[in-house]
């Protein structure tokens, strides 16, 4: 009995080991069989999407067919995703034996393949979760299409941009083009007796609007277009007015035509055609070319003032003063210019019919960035007072250093600004502010400034209070000289003036010249090693300049009582 059980166990062990051996000895198909039989599988396979459009719900759904010689519908999208994930081989029909990998598909099908796989994966995991938690979910449901969501529409369009796609609406099938360009929708103004008609080159009821997540799309009979923001704000809005009023045209009188050209037409340049209008109507209704002049200055409170003039040929108009003109003004562009001022933060000074900018932060932003945009768009003129009060980078001119009576005297009287402003400048620099406004109304830029960093280190790190500054002079102990010298190295374009005493002291400390100048004590009865001599001379040098020195343990300078005389000499 025991013998039989032993034989059974041995046979079982042999079977398991053989299975293990075969598993690891067998190469994957992708490396052997696939390479050897590569010609058996379809190559350059096409993915052909077909769109179904529900004109009542305004929804798109898409199905897919694949093939090289004959097309086969993908009946189960999550199943197709799994085949691609596992690189399976599957035969769809007599004419399509497919190895499911990206390399099997044509180059122009790759983007739509990526879209298909992305949303098929979402469907797969959604179905799995639904199956797990829903009792009523139909086990027979087979997802063969993708319902295009807002986000999906953006992805779908990107994958098919520049291509023609099958499209079915109301049981009628055709192809539509996914266009990179905006549609050529134009409006025309023509005269009908004493009235004027605005019409469009397309039927206002022949398009649909589709909402993506990032973009809006317009669906016309033969194409779908991704709309630019400008197109949405102009052409599309005008089309929507026609549609909402169930008409394809708008009739205007002469006064209304003038308002149309003054307010609407400037926003739709090259989209409005009016060649058929008479010259007299054009002269009377179409606004002349607008120029904008801005005169910049400062008032007594150091606020920026802006006098604005709208220029039509040789006539200048203050927009804040009622003015009667015998020509049509370009109201749209005038409002656009005034909106720029509002966005910048300018306020209206009614008493002087001008604009004023009062916020220090907004003045700084205007001077540092926004004024460049104004100069590109408009004619900007400035007074000499305005030009003087600009933004400056903090730059010191010179620093003087003098060593006297074991003290360092630092001359900072030539820092480049009034010393009464310097304390606040350093306070704001310490708080990481972008700027400081000086008493004269000009601005100091505080960001990434090595000069200010030097002054910050000098006052904060060396514990010097601003009240210690006397007419731009600071005094500090001479033992700070090495640290000060290190700080000076980071300064560029600053003249450093030092006296001879300071220079000699720094040179000795830097170049170890004390080894020559300082003799050993004559009454010393001891044989000292080199490092002990160097240590002694170094401490004597510190004592010479009253730097102060600490003789620590483990220096090898023999601090015990048997060498008391040496210890006393070093530390006297």
232 backbone dihedrals φ, ψ, rounded to 5°:
-60, -40
Is residue 20 assigned to a domain?
Answer: yes
Is residue 175 assigned to a domain?
Answer: no
Residue 25 pairs in a beta bridge with: none
Is residue 156 assigned to a domain?
Answer: yes
Tokens of 118: 């992305």
Half-sphere exposure of 32 (CA within 13 A, CB side): 5
Using DSSP's 3-state secondary structure scheme, residue 375 falls into helix
434: domain range? 392-510
Same domain, 356 and 415: no
Report d(CA 156, CA 332) in Å as an integer.
37
Q: According to the model, what pLDDT value does residue 165 have?
A: 95
Q: According to the model, what pLDDT value does residue 34 have?
A: 46
Same domain, 136 and 246: no
CB 154 within 8 A of CB 85: no
Total number of domains in the chain: 6
Same domain, 274 and 194: yes
Distances (CA, A) of 37 to 24, 31, 90, 101, 396: 22, 11, 14, 15, 79
Count of beta carbons in the 10 Å neighbourhood of residue 365? 17
Is residue 174 assigned to a domain?
Answer: no
Q: Which of 238, 260, 285 is the endpoint of a domain?
A: 285
Same domain, 116 and 235: no
Map tokens 């030009």 to a residue: 387
Averaged pLDDT, groups of 10, the chain, 572 residues long: 65 67 57 51 92 91 92 93 93 90 93 94 83 53 86 94 93 92 92 92 92 93 92 92 93 91 86 91 87 94 94 89 81 90 94 93 92 93 89 85 83 79 83 86 85 81 68 79 80 84 77 61 72 71 63 56 40 40
Q: What is the pLDDT of residues 174-191, one digit of tens each?
A: 999 999 888 999 999 999
Same domain, 50 and 151: yes
Same domain, 496 and 542: no
Same domain, 483 and 522: no
CB 223 within 8 A of CB 73: no
Q: According to the model, what pLDDT value does residue 568 have?
A: 37
Report d(CA 276, CA 300) in Å as an integer.
55
Same domain, 135 and 243: no
Tokens of 411: 């001359």
Q: What is the pLDDT of residues 373-400, one digit of tens each?
A: 999 999 999 999 898 888 888 888 888 8
Map tokens 């009062």 to a residue: 358
Is residue 275 assigned to a domain?
Answer: yes
Q: According to the model, what pLDDT value does residue 89 have?
A: 92
pTM higher than 0.85 for the full model? no
Report d(CA 533, CA 520) in Å as an integer.
8
Same domain, 44 and 136: yes
Q: Which of 467, 482, 510 is the endpoint of a domain?
A: 510
Q: According to the model, what pLDDT value does residue 569 have?
A: 41
Same domain, 52 and 144: yes
Is residue 472 assigned to a domain?
Answer: yes
Report d(CA 232, CA 298) in Å as an integer.
41
Same domain, 18 and 92: no
116 CA to centre of own chain: 31
Q: According to the model, what pLDDT value does residue 32 have?
A: 45
Is residue 494 assigned to a domain?
Answer: yes
């Amino acid at each position: 009995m025991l013998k039989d059980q032993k034989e059974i166990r041995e046979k079982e062990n042999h079977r398991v080991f053989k299975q293990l051996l075969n598993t690891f000895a067998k190469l994957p198909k992708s490396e052997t069989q696939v390479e050897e039989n590569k010609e058996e599988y379809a190559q350059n396979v096409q993915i052909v999407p077909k769109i179904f459009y529900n004109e009542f719900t305004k929804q798109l759904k898409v199905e897919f067919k694949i093939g090289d010689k004959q097309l086969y519908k993908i009946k189960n999208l999550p199943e197709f995703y799994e085949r691609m994930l596992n690189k399976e081989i599957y035969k769809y029909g007599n004419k399509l034996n497919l190895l499911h990998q990206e390399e099997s598909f044509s180059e122009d099908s790759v983007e739509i393949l990526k879209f298909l796989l992305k949303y098929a994966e979402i469907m797969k995991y959604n179905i799995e979760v639904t199956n797990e938690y829903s009792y009523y979910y139909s086990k027979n449901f087979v997802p063969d299409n993708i319902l295009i969501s807002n986000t999906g529409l953006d992805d779908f369009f990107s994958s098919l941009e520049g291509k023609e796609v099958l499209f079915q609406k109301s049981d009628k099938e055709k192809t539509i083009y996914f266009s990179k360009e905006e549609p050529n929708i134009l409006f025309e103004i023509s005269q009908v007796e004493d009235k004027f008609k605005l019409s469009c080159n397309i039927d206002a009821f022949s398009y649909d609007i589709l909402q993506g997540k990032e973009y809006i799309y317009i669906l016309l009979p033969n194409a779908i277009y991704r709309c630019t923001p400008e197109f949405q704000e102009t052409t599309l809005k005008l089309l929507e007015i026609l549609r909402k009023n169930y008409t394809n045209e708008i009739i205007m009188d002469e006064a209304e035509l003038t308002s149309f050209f003054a307010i609407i037409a400037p926003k739709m340049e090259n989209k409005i055609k009016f060649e058929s209008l008479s010259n007299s109507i054009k002269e009377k209704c179409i606004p002349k070319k607008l120029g904008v002049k801005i005169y910049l200055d400062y008032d007594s409170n150091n606020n920026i003032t802006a006098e604005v003039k709208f220029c039509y040929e040789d006539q200048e108009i203050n927009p804040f003063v009622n003015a009667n003109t015998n020509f049509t003004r370009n109201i749209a562009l005038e409002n656009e210019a005034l909106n720029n001022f509002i966005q910048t933060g300018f306020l209206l000074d009614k008493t002087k019919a001008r604009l004023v900018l009062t916020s220090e932060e907004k003045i700084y932003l205007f001077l540092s960035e926004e004024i460049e945009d104004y100069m590109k768009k408009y004619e900007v003129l400035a007074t000499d007072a305005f030009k003087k009060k600009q933004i400056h980078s903090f730059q010191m001119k010179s620093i003087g250093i003098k060593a006297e009576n074991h003290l360092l005297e630092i001359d900072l009287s030539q820092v480049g600004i009034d010393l009464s402003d310097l304390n606040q400048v350093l306070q704001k620099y310490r708080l990481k502010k972008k700027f400081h406004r000086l008493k004269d109304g000009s601005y100091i830029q505080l960001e990434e400034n090595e000069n200010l960093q030097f002054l910050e280190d000098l006052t904060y790190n060396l514990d010097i209070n601003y009240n210690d500054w006397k007419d731009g002079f600071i005094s500090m102990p001479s033992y700070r000289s090495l640290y000060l010298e290190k700080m000076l190295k980071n300064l560029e374009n600053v003249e450093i003036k030092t006296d001879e005493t300071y220079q000699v002291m720094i040179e000795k400390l830097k170049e170890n010249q004390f080894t020559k100048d300082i003799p050993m004590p004559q009454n010393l009865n001891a044989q000292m090693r080199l490092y002990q001599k160097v240590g002694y001379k170094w401490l004597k040098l510190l004592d010479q300049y009253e730097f102060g020195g600490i003789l620590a343990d483990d220096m090898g300078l023999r601090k015990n009582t048997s060498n008391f005389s040496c210890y006393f000499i070093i530390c006297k």
